[in-house]
Amino acid sequence: MANGRGLPIQDAWKSLPYFHEDFSTTEEVSKYIKKKARGKAGHFLLRPSNRDRNRLTASIYCSDDSVRHTNISYEMSVEFRSLYYLVPEKKFESLSLLVEYYGVNPVKNMENISNVFLKKPIMNKKWLNNGNFDALSRSSSDRSLSLHSSMSTLSMSNGSLGGMATTFDSGSSSSLSTPTLPGQTLAQRSDSFGNTSVTNGGTSVRPLPLPNMSCIERRPPLPLPSAVSDKKEDGPYMYSKARDVTEDISEQLKDVLKASERCECGIPRHLAELPKGWTVHLSKDAPTIGRLFYQNDAGITSWALPDDVKMQLTKKHIQNLTTIDPNWKVQR
């Protein structure tokens, strides 16, 4: 199956027996999970976001009889390894390791819903039709045993496996989500950096040389993750965002308010706006991180500002651009 841009859904997602790709609305997902859960909290499935098929979402049946949805973020490390996480302080080299961890450790959240676990996977129809019931039984019984060894060898960033939290959505996506899989996915990254392979233990990447800068100049910059609107999708469904529960939540909320005034790349929104629907951003792609690029409201990106946009730059626009980058110069 391909998304709206013609890009294939990640093989790493499709290989999981609890990945479902056929839902078209959040309401449909919630009804399906409630039917399968039968009042038992911890049932969950993974699926593409209905707003952006390049985003991965976990949908979980909770103890308050609600179905909550949270984005699983994705990034490539500097070693070109895949990393998945609910909170940036706790990253996993595969989705299965993430699910195993939150199967025994609660997903703490800003809504203070207790006992949220990824404990009971809802298997997809294709997997069930293949008659894998015995494998499911063995997998469930071995989960607690395999988790300890998996976690002991897992390469983590930013500290230990502490108690973190996720914000949940009951439908409208949260603008608080950490940047996740860009619109141009790993399939395109592989064109520049090499091929990836998926194994039962996680995602492995063959050793690769550093990218050639001339190749980077020839391809357009990766766009930022799709902006998430505040518009309701199909009803009162909620998304949430993870937080460190050892911190004062009031400070967290202050940071959220400040962040809402900035673009996903960190540039203040009032400085980023340019003529004809263009905006300026900082690249988050590993080989070009921190480099300025331009993007229009149709999602087209460029390292150079188009000439027709340059002609309409005002003194204020130029002042804003030099505030972002003191070395920026207009070249007409």
Read off the CATH number of the domain in which 67 is found.
3.30.505.10
Measured distance CA(110)–CA(103) in Å, rounded: 19
Q: Which two tokens stand for residue 82?
A: 């895949």
Over 60: is that where the pLDDT of 213 sits? no
Among the residues of the chain, which ranges form H helices?
A: 11-14, 26-37, 95-104, 125-129, 133-153, 186-193, 213-218, 249-259, 269-272, 307-310, 315-324
Last residue of a domain, one of 193, 218, 243: 218
The residue among 218, 240, 272 that closes a domain is 218
Is 231 inside any structural domain?
no
Distance CA 223, CA 76 (A): 15
State whether 198 and 91 are in the same domain.
yes
Do residues 16 and 110 share a domain? Answer: yes
Q: What is the mean pLDDT of residues 4-28?
A: 75
Would you state the structure tokens that stand for residue 89, as one six-digit string?
Answer: 């302080």
Cα four-point dihedral sign 282, 220, 70, 79:
negative
Greater model confidence, 183 or 124: 124
In a domain, 308, yes or no: yes
Do 213 and 268 lie in one domain? The reply is: no
Residues 154 and 16 grouped into a single domain: yes
Q: What is the pLDDT of residues 294-324, one digit of tens each?
A: 998 888 889 899 999 999 999 999 999 988 8
How sure is the predictor about 240, in pLDDT bands with cuts at 50, 70 and 90? low
Q: Is position 226 within any domain?
A: no
**Residue 331: inside a domain:** yes
With 0-12 CB in 10 A as exposed, 13-18 as middle and 19+ as buried, what is 68?
A: buried
Domain range for 292 is 264-332
Judge if 202 and 76 occupy the same domain: yes
21 & 163 share domain: yes
**pLDDT surpassing 60 at residue 220:** yes
What pLDDT digit, counting tens, does each position of 36-61 carry? 999 999 999 999 988 888 889 999 99
Whether the predicted model's global pTM rises above the 0.85 cut: no
100 and 16 assigned to the same domain: yes
